[in-house]
């Protein structure tokens, strides 16, 4: 459902209900100040072209674009959702409460990157200082779009700090959670990182790495032309195995990986794992990067090998961050086990507009209590870090 609105005060033209292919790639990418791979036009296009994100999968693209005299000056990813899968901010209890009271929670509106629990801008503009000014414009346009689509609510997931500041100034409900990220403190190499850990935990980390190498595994970083269709075929089997052991199927189609490789060739690579007694790869992990951050996204293995997941998904990533001078390693959502491997707790947030006033009040109270619990958890989690000096 495409909608066009002209703001009478600013004379800005606002278009909603757009597929990413409706927007010029260079104009969109000019708004991605931090170069996040997940905000790149190519990443979103790969999701849509591959049919991983479409009406049939419950992710209907309806992006927002703001034009001034025909020029794209701001944008926001937006989807009509018919379920809550692939979001990593869990609102199933809210949907269940709606159902028990005879109300429809779906469809809802969602501003997020599908299947990607990584922080990045949600209000895209070449001038980050304009986000606070643009927020009321987006809010008004999306409220109108919610009325036309029958959406119960609007949810903004994993905004970066700049977008969060603009969202804080609105009436939306703030919700907080915790992830675990590794920070590069100008380490010279992995041993330098270990030298900052206390002796007992340093010994455990060394033991895990030695255990993997002792089993006869080796690791290969593949990018660019090395990522052949055959490599992607093998990796896709590993990717699906991760879900099938839980009786599910992965969200992404095989075509997505070919599309994203073609569209973001310099920001994507695989770590593929070989075994000395095997002629083919036995596991693999997919990573993306920008100028400052490494992102670990997908992992899979033909069978369960002791400590191989930790080596492939965490320690290999730490090695890459140190070698390339990247400041941060975001290895994905959840995973309290990351703490003892040096990944520090960080607060993530989301914002929620709930149309029903009674539910809105109840959810606002719930999120306030949840924030208090999360703050206490952050303090307790820090105590599990392996560092000699636990101040982070």
Say what the pLDDT of residue 390 is.
60
Contact between 189 and 370 under an 8 Å Cβ cutoff? The reply is no
pTM for the full predicted model: 0.95
Say what the pLDDT of residue 278 is.
83
Say what the pLDDT of residue 6 is.
76
The whole-number mean pLDDT for each consecutive block of 10 residues of the chain, a chain of 392 residues, reads 74 94 97 92 98 97 95 97 96 96 97 97 92 92 95 98 94 97 97 95 94 94 95 97 85 97 94 91 96 95 93 96 97 90 97 97 98 96 88 50
Say what the pLDDT of residue 8 is.
75
Q: Give every strand in the sheet of 124-125, ordered side by side.
A: 3-6, 13-18, 63-68, 71-76, 124-125
Domains and CATH numbers, the chain: 3-179+346-382 (3.40.630.30), 185-326 (3.40.630.30)
Residue for token digits 């199927």?
249
- Cβ-based neighbour number of residue 330 at 10 Å: 22
**What Cα–Cα distance (Å) separates residue 4 from each residue in 12, 122, 143, 235, 347?**
11, 20, 14, 42, 36
Instruction: List 270's β-bridge partners, or say none.
Output: 222, 286
């Amino acid at each position: 459902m495409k909608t066009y609105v002209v703001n009478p005060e600013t004379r800005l033209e606002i278009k909603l209900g757009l597929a990413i292919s409706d927007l010029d790639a260079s104009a969109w990418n000019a708004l991605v100040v931090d170069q996040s791979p997940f905000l790149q036009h190519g990443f979103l296009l790969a999701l849509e072209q591959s049919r991983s994100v479409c009406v049939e999968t419950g992710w209907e693209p309806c992006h927002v674009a703001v034009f001034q005299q025909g020029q794209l000056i701001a944008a926001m990813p937006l989807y009509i959702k018919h379920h809550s899968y692939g979001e990593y901010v869990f609102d199933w209890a809210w949907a269940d409460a709606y159902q028990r009271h005879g109300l429809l929670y779906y469809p809802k509106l969602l501003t997020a990157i599908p299947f990607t629990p990584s922080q990045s801008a949600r209000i895209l503009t070449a001038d980050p200082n304009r986000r606070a000014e643009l927020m009321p414009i987006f809010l008004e346009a999306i409220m109108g779009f919610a009325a036309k689509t029958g959406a119960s609510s609007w949810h903004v997931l994993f905004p970066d700090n700049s977008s969060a500041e603009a969202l804080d100034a609105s009436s939306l409900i703030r919700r907080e959670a915790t992830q675990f990220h590794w920070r590069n403190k100008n380490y010279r190499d992995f041993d330098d990182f270990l030298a900052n850990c206390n002796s007992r935990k340093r010994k455990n980390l060394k033991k895990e790495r030695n255990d993997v190498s002792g089993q006869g595994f080796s690791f290969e970083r593949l990018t660019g032309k090395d990522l052949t269709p055959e490599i992607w075929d093998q990796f896709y089997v590993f990717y699906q195995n991760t879900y099938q052991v839980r009786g599910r199927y992965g969200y992404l189609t095989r075509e997505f990986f070919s599309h994203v490789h073609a569209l973001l060739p310099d920001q994507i690579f695989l770590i593929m794992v070989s075994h000395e007694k095997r002629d083919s790869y036995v596991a693999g992990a997919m990573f993306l990067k920008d100028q400052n951050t490494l992102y670990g996204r997908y992992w899979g293995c033909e069978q369960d090998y002791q400590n191989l997941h930790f080596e492939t998904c965490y320690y290999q990533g730490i090695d890459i961050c140190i070698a390339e001078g990247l400041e941060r390693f975001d290895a994905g959502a959840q995973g309290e086990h990351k703490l003892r491997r040096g990944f520090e707790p960080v607060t993530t947030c989301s914002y929620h507009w709930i149309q029903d006033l009674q539910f809105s009040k109840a959810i606002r109270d719930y999120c306030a209590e949840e924030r208090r619990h999360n703050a206490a958890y952050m303090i307790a989690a820090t105590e599990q870090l392996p560092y000699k000096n636990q101040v982070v």
